[in-house]
Structure 1
Amino acid sequence: MTIRLGRREFLMGSSALAAAAALGVSPAWAQNALRLIFWGGQARADRTYAVTDAYAAAGNPGVEGEFLSWNDYWPKLATQTAGGTAPDVIQMDYRFIVEYATRNAIAPLDDIIGDLGEFDADQLEGGKVDGKLYGISLGANSVAMLANVTAFEAIGEAVPDNSWTYADIERLGEAFKAAGNGMAAMSDGSGSEPFLDNWLRQRGKALYTAEGKLGFDAADATEWFAMWNGFREKGYIVSAEDNALDTGAPETSMVALKKAALLPSNSNQLVIHQSVNDDTLTITSYPRIEAGVGGGHYRKPSMFFSVGGTAAEKQAAADFIRYFVTDPEAGKILGVERGIPCNASVREAITPTLDEQSQIALNFVSNLGDLLGPLPPSPPAAAGEIDTSLLRVLSQEVGFGGRSAEDAGQFFVDEATAILNRAAS
């Protein structure tokens, strides 16, 4: 069952998460089967459940799974964790792993995960907090721009390649306007944390520093919101009203609704987006701020599996995670929907079995060239709150005319700084 919580409930859930951790809440009931929670669409669920079925068929404990959309996932997980009912295996994101680890909401894995085989060192490093391993990467990916090939062909334009720039947004925006088919060139990326991060990295800055502070100032944030305001006013991106239709589920994306030809996304999400689109899709890079400028992309853990801090059978949960990321047959079922497998043997086993979209994703991540920069430090504990309840909210307020870009830029930095300071105190 999916529940929907608003901003107030989300923040209450986050506060309850902290309180529960401090009190050492224990599980509310004994469990015969492992419980798993993850975000994603039906295509991800089908693959995941096929693996849990294979795991149980091999004589291992059963695994009961639940999946939700991204927007619904985090409020529910925070509420479950605060109530002591968090699942045994939790799908975790890079921006939230520090918060959940430091609050003991997920357990260290160093002593229970066992042998992962030839596992990419950078992906293991990405799952560490304060030197301890809290998450096992389910795949390497990179931010990527989802592109509707059919829509580009219809107006006689080529899908941008990895050399395209922000200046091309204007050219493509005019081309789609001239086509008069009701489709904008791009969805609104002003509330996308990865998009902002990529833009800042190309400018030699960062979303967060290694010390857990903001790596940019109010002038940067103002320029960001103003740039998107300009795109919106000229009709190069979708309207605020249309963009608000996107709930985070693939079926409600601006590409799926045929309101935009380009959508900021991730390389591993091509597979799931293609599954809900009748047009042909592909991926390309995020735009460069200027021709020849790179370094904005990086190979990140697409997501992790972590063991719940209150899980009664932590070893059993870790055994399932190890199977999920190291078993070649499981890898063939999963493909690259969660990213490029981090275990070398699994990569070798699945490559001949990949469909066209999966091959595109694999080749994209493997051939980023000068776009590729270093993996940034793990986001600070409050990064999730800043993304969900600040950047996204401000993006909508600017889009609907409730705030100016200048007001939003200053407010973003002031409020984000206050959130980080509260989290560190």
Structure 2
Amino acid sequence: MTIRIDRRKFLMGSSALLAAGAAGVSPSFAQSDALRLLFWGGQDRADRTYAVSDMFTEASGVSMEPEFLSWSDYWPKLATQTAGGNAPDIVQMDYRYIVEYASRNAIAPLDEFVGGPLKLDSFDQDQLDGGKVGGQLFGISLGANSVATLVNTDAFAEVGIDAPTNAWTYDDIMEMAEAFNSANIRGGMKVMSDGSYTEPMLHNWLRQRGKELYTPEGKLAFDEDDAIEWYTMWDKLRKAGACVSAEDQALDSGPLETTMIVLGKSALMPSNSNQLVAYQTIVQDDLNMIGYPRAAAGSGGGHYRKPSMFFSVGGSSANKEKAAEFLNFFISNPEAAKVLGVERGIPCLPSTREVVAPTLDEKGQIALNFVANLGDLLGALPPPPPPSAGEIDASLIRTLGQEVGFGAKSPEQAGRDLVSGANDILSRS
């Protein structure tokens, strides 16, 4: 995903969450009967979520107060509200952060509601397991998805070459770049955005090589040689004009509207399968979706079906049972399912999938079929990342990629700094 977290904002939010854990999360000082819902996303997701919130209010009589922010603004606000004992009743949660929030009691276990307000008998087991921390259920998956590469098919047609397929490799990027640079379409569109500081892309590349970002025990699972090779590969792509310049990539400030494929800076961009629908609403060119590039021809196993995001209940909420009722409505109500579609991923209840499938437009069908047919790209779901993984992503992986891009550090120095810095952060967590 090419969304970026501003380092200062992330660390501010992380500190606030730490303070909440140290002090103990107390009940909110301003409780009301309305359920407060906080989530990240673009306008398309907001429109769908607000509509379903209204449907729940009509069905239950429970008032809803939903609010959405961009990814980069979401986490500092959630952490700050959590530290102040004023967390929302329902929060959108990411696989990356669920361990951290659960371990600090910032979100509540949901087991007591299963079989009551929460009906999960036929819920996909892998998605249910993905929301567990220490054997307790802390998040309800809102859809299964996978990392993916968005493809501007119109741009490839304009250049006069075939768009890549799931068989493409990192070496193919350089070959396609020659065609794009020669054609010089749209003021110099590059074939690829800069994925060097995209954590999911690094993780996928490592998995294809038989490694992971982290061990099940929360230790670093790769070494300096891996990190140096990663930054060196992207440095070569950047210098050859195969990916966008560091200056252009820096325009990506978080919202979908600032990403390289929306700005017309690149024809390929790492993303997630559930985001195709949202991107197509704001891009006039036709978009398609393929997997991440292969580390080498025939290599696979880097992808996995990940909970795209969860809904969790705030640890300080005084309305936990009502919040659980909303979660159940969100994932299982047939009319809600038709509104939500696959914007958050492939639904995890078979009954919901049956309702949604006939209603999907072309892009929704592409997303569903992509996740269902990953083939040899598919590997096992990795363990949840350690609590400090968010800080490593924001303050190291992203920052070091930018520093190499702007020439402030060599790939060799960045590789060493990534490993030493990550080990230091993990040792303090």
TM-score bracket relative to the smaller structure: over 0.9
**Percentage of pairs with the same residue:** 64
The count of residues paired between Structure 1 and Structure 2 equals 420
Gap regions ≥5 residues in structure 2: none
Structure 1 CA distance, aligned partners of 2:9 and 2:368?
Answer: 38
Structure 1 CA distance, aligned partners of 2:23 and 2:83?
Answer: 10
Q: 1:390, 1:412 within 8 Å by CA — same for their partners in 2? A: yes
Structure 2 CA distance, aligned partners of 1:71 and 1:348?
Answer: 34
Equivalent residue in structure 2 for 1:370, among 369, 376, 393: 376
Q: Which letter maps to 2:254?
A: G
For residues 22-41 of structure 1, what are the structure 2 equivalents within 5 Å?
22-26=22-26, 27-41=28-42
Match in the other structure for 2:208: 202
Structure 1 CA distance, aligned partners of 2:399 and 2:91?
Answer: 26
Q: 2:5, 2:71 within 8 Å by CA — same for their partners in 1? A: no
Give a deviation string over 1:108-167, Cα, whole Å, max 9, x none: 011124212411000000001111110000000000000001101111112211111111
Match in the other structure for 1:19: 19
Q: 1:148, 1:262 within 8 Å by CA — same for their partners in 2? A: yes
**Structure 2 residue matching 1:162: 3-state secondary structure:** coil
Distance apart, 1:31 and its partner CA:
1.4
Distance apart, 1:374 and its partner CA:
0.2
Structure 1 CA distance, aligned partners of 2:250 and 2:71?
Answer: 15
For residues 149-188 of structure 1, what are the structure 2 equivalents within 5 Å?
149-181=153-185, 182-188=188-194
Give a deviation string over 1:18-59, Cα, whole Å, max 9, x none: 222232232121212100111100000000001001010113
Give a deviation string over 1:237-282, Cα, whole Å, max 9, x none: 0000000101121111101100000000000000000011010001
Give a deviation string over 1:388-420, Cα, whole Å, max 9, x none: 121111111111111111111111111111111
Q: 1:116, 1:326 within 8 Å by CA — same for their partners in 2? A: no
Q: 2:25, 2:106 within 8 Å by CA — same for their partners in 1? A: no
Q: Which letter maps to 1:254?
A: M
Q: Report the more deviating stretch, 295-304 or 17-26.
A: 17-26
Equivalent residue in structure 1 for 2:233, among 227, 232, 255: 227
Equivalent residue in structure 2 for 1:396, among 402, 405, 411: 402
Runs of 4+ residues deviating >2 angstroms? 4-10
Q: Structure 1 residue 7 and structure 2 residue 7: aligned?
A: yes
Q: Structure 1 residue 139 and structure 2 residue 143: aligned?
A: yes
Q: Structure 1 residue 238 and structure 2 residue 238: aligned?
A: no
Structure 2 CA distance, aligned partners of 1:332 and 1:358?
Answer: 12
Match in the other structure for 2:364: 358
**Structure 2 residue matching 1:256: 3-state secondary structure:** helix
Distance apart, 1:78 and its partner CA:
1.2
Q: Report the more deviating stretch, 148-157 or 353-362.
A: 148-157
Q: Report the more deviating stretch, 38-47 or 107-116.
A: 107-116
Structure 2 CA distance, aligned partners of 1:71 and 1:16?
Answer: 15
Distance apart, 1:5 and its partner CA:
9.1
CA RMSD of aligned residues (A): 1.2
Q: 1:155, 1:175 within 8 Å by CA — same for their partners in 2? A: yes
**Structure 2 residue matching 1:111: 3-state secondary structure:** helix
Q: 2:100, 2:387 within 8 Å by CA — same for their partners in 1? A: yes
Match in the other structure for 1:348: 354
Structure 1 CA distance, aligned partners of 2:58 and 2:85?
Answer: 29
For residues 112-123 of structure 1, what are the structure 2 equivalents within 5 Å?
112-113=113-114, 114-123=118-127
Give a deviation string over 1:189-214, Cα, whole Å, max 9, x none: 01111000000000000011111011
Structure 2 CA distance, aligned partners of 1:190 and 1:203?
Answer: 17
Q: 1:138, 1:339 within 8 Å by CA — same for their partners in 2? A: yes
Gap regions ≥5 residues in structure 1: none
**Structure 2 residue matching 1:47: 3-state secondary structure:** helix
Equivalent residue in structure 1 for 2:281, among 262, 266, 275: 275
User: What TM-score, normalized to structure 1?
Assistant: 0.97
Match in the other structure for 1:215: 221
Q: 1:208, 1:379 within 8 Å by CA — same for their partners in 2? A: yes
Q: Which letter maps to 2:420?
A: D
Match in the other structure for 2:79: 78
Distance apart, 1:289 and its partner CA:
1.0
User: What TM-score, normalized to structure 2?
Assistant: 0.96
